[in-house]
Structure 1
């Protein structure tokens, strides 16, 4: 019994040993076959590091405000008898917008004018009596006072009557009219907004450390999401004389031409103050940089000679330090020299010493100025 079990175990060991041995032999032969194969050549795109002249800018975000803007309200109550303009109309200074019912005030004005005329006649009579020494000086003074009061009453009624006609206080574009004919308006009720759109102000803040670099008259570029990458140009008109204690920022106002009225008050805007200085920097496309927590790197393309004398391109990973970015370009402050070729796409399959071939169709974007302020 024991002898039979011994031979059974021996047979199992021989079988398992053969299986594992065969697998080890196959693995070794596969490894040898793979090691004898040539390293794959990876297709990448590449470009040369270039020296570019950049003008420094101060970027900020802000909002558009009208040079002149007001929400027109009713200064006196009354019923609307006429709306003289359409929504969104361009109006001139003094143009009539809305008329309120003024019949009662017109009647009151006629009564006040009659009282003023009567006071004038009374004053003339008192003066004649005074010349005849038939009254006292106080009677003349009293008549003079009554005339002045009557005239003041006329002026007050005329002022109220004038408020029944709501006019544009300045030229500009009105918004949506909030009243209808026949509607009764209380004092202070909103009628319509009026904004001067050309030119238009851009209000933004810059950090206090940038205060020495900005001044009135410097060019400013602005962009709003509504018009994509289109930029609008203007210049700084005012800088606040104080620094906000809560943010340590300085308020800046620029003015931009807006003849077509495409920019509207309240729009969010990205701005860039163009500074006069210039600097030469080494730049690469953004896609050339591999960003990692342990450091940013690029793959440099080197030329090597094979045993047969052929030129072979290989890559070398190089850690770099980057600076400011503009559009599709990023500044490289250390690690890459001008003229060195750098891989711009296909890095994920590369390692040190990998063989590559360059195919720049299509070529990665390398526009320095799709973003605001980089033109």
Structure 2
């Protein structure tokens, strides 16, 4: 007889059988869908390889200084009678800046001019006498000495008089005025500063391993946080003859034409020196897959992605120069790499 207990025992068996049957029926359908999915091309973004300018740059931090920079001081000591400039004036070479009290120097020059005129008159008289009197010849020599001495005294007095007027030794930008009219100044008194900022020089250091590749005239680009969207271009004008024994670096100086006046002495500048420049096949860095000590890219041929090995020559600002493995006009995948493998069908977006 068929019992309820035997029916209950059979029930789990029937459930298991149904599950196995369902899986069996599902598998062919699943395989069919996977097969179909392999026929669908994966959407990717690609880059067409072409020769571009490949510039190798060395970056460093530099400090700016003026082409010429001095403290304006007086060679003479006296009271200030006039000041002809304001803070921050742009001045030309020879422009008057400060006048010192100079009446005494003017009197000295006037007196010496009169003395020299008289000494020359005496010289003329003795010259005439020396033609007929032998004794006048010795007096003539003495008078010549007096004329020369007076002439020297006059030149010295004129120099001192000229130094009572302080002028700009070169064109540039003045700093803050440190004196006032009536002040007593001497050769220790700072009147103001003068900077020639028509050219800005930037000093920076590079590792000594680059020394053999450095040359005067190399291009240098620089930026400052004050002008984040602007790049200034100059050239190397000096390479130090010594290597710093502590940092093992060489100091390089680059000069920048500063017609706009935007660069100022003391600025901290981000510099980049162009070490070399050539034409190379360039691809975005994100297209290159590093595996151990080798590099690969996914190359597209007839709608199929193939992983190929390439040789990286250099890297610069998110771009990689390839010297082996690729040719001009080929396409490499830059986005969608994780969704494909070698042999996958792909479709390039855009």
Question: Which residue of structure 2 aligns with residue 276 of structure 1?
Answer: 277
- Residue 120 of structure 1 corresponds to 120
1:339 to 295, 317, 333: 333
Any unmatched runs of 5+ in structure 2? 1-43, 293-312, 323-331, 339-350
Distance 1:60 1:239 in 2: 15
Shift of 1:343: 10
1:10 corresponds in structure 2 to none
Contact 1:49 1:283 in 2 (8 A): no
In 1, the alpha carbon distance for the partners of 2:203 and 2:179 equals 32
Query: Is the 8 Å Cα contact of residues 284 and 334 (structure 2) preserved in structure 1?
Result: no
Q: Pairwise mapping of residues 62-101 of structure 1 onto structure 2 (< 5 A)?
A: 62-101=62-101
**Cα shift at 1:326:** 6.4
Cα-to-partner distance string for 1:187-208 (whole Å, 9 max, x where unaligned): 2321121112123222222222
Alpha-carbon contact 2:203-2:254 (below 8 Å) kept = yes
- Which residue number corresponds to residue 181 of structure 2? 181
Could you say which residue in structure 2 is the equivalent of 1:212?
Answer: 212
Counterparts of 2:142 and 2:91, CA distance in 1: 48
Deviation of 1:184 (Å): 0.8
Residue 93 of structure 1 and its aligned partner are, at CA, apart by 1.2
Structure 1 counterpart SS, 2:70: strand
Structure-2 change in CA distance of 1:120 and 1:208 (3 Å): same
Match of 2:196 in 1: 196
Superposition pairs of residues 53-68 of structure 1, within 5 angstroms: 55-68=55-68
Shift of 1:248: 3.2
Give 1:219 deviation, angstroms: 1.6
Between 143-152 and 119-128, the greater mean CA deviation after superposition: 119-128
| Corresponding residue number in structure 1 for 2:151 | 151
How far the C-alpha of 1:72 sits from its partner, in A, is 1.5
Q: Secondary structure at the match of 1:339?
A: strand
The answer to whether 1:253 aligns with 2:253 is yes
1:1-375 equivalences in 2 (<5 Å): 55-133=55-133, 135-274=135-274, 275-277=276-278, 280=282, 283-284=285-286, 329=318, 339=333, 341=335
Query: Aligned partners of 2:129 and 2:168: how far apart in 1?
Result: 50
- Deviation readout 1:288-320 (Å, 9 max, x if unpaired): xxxxxxx9xxxxxxxxxxxxxxxxxxxxxxxxx
Structure 1 residue 75: Cα displacement: 0.9
Number of aligned positions between the proteins = 262
Residue 344 of structure 2 corresponds to: none
- The alignment partner of 2:141 has SS state of helix
Distance 1:326 1:276, change over 3 A: closer
Give 1:174 deviation, angstroms: 1.2
Taking the aligned partners of 1:203 and 1:342, their CA distance within structure 2 comes to: 45
1:251, 1:281 → 2: CA distance?
A: 34
Cα 1:340–1:204 change in 2 (3 A) is closer
Deviations 1:273-301 (A, max 9, x none): 1231466465249xxxxxxxxx9xxxxxx
Closer, same or farther: CA 324–189 of 1 in aligned 2, 3 Å: farther
Give how far 1:271 is off: 0.5
SS at match of 1:86: coil
SS at match of 2:234: strand
Asked if structure 1 preserves the Cα contact closer than 8 Å seen for 2:56 and 2:316, the reply is: no
CA contact (8 A) 1:56 1:278 kept: no
Task: For 1:241 and 1:342, locate their aligned partners in 2 and report how far apart those are by CA, in whole Å.
Answer: 51
Could you tell me how far apart the structure 1 residues matched to 2:135 and 2:121 are? 16
